[in-house]
Amino acid sequence: MKYLCQVWFDGGILDAMAQEEKAELDTNSWNYDKDLVESGHMIVAQALQPPKAAVTVRVRAGEMSVTDGPFAETKEALGGFILIEAKDLNEAIRVAAGIPLAKLGAIEVRPIHVFGKQT
């Protein structure tokens, strides 16, 4: 089964880190991604730009509107994602727990919905 591991964290925590700490986090994240590739779990992983770089698109009654960024009450924002292959939710949770940013934020693990028959 496929699972999306959404990486949520407070960008202020990263901003407050020393350059050496950020470099170590980057190295640890890169190494964990390589481990996931080698173990066959990794499908794709991407880091996202901060929320201030985003736009939100809505279509209502046939009219499109675009606003700057998502405006949420929480300090945590979606910072990236890892799409993985795992035999079940328990294995996906174990994979998510190894993501280095889980120590600073939260990893939401969500099964991918499969439409129709799979061959």
Instruction: Map out the domains of the chain as residue ranges.
Output: 2-111
The answer to whether 77 touches 51, Cβ cutoff 8 Å, is yes
Q: Which fold has domain 2-111?
A: Alpha-Beta Plaits (3.30.70)
Residue 118's pLDDT is 61
**Residue 41 three-state SS:** coil
Residue 44's pLDDT is 97
Task: Evaluate if residue 116 carries a pLDDT over 60.
Answer: yes
pLDDT digits (tens, 9 = 90+) for 52-104: 899 999 999 999 999 987 766 678 899 999 999 999 999 999 999 999 999 99
CB < 8 Å & 24+ apart, contacts of 39-44? 40/85, 41/84, 41/85, 41/86, 41/95, 42/82, 42/84, 42/85, 43/2, 43/83, 43/84, 43/85, 44/82, 44/83
Task: Evaluate if residue 119 carries a pLDDT over 60.
Answer: no
Residue 84, classified by CB atoms within 10 Å of its CB into exposed (0-12), middle (13-18) or buried (19+), is: buried
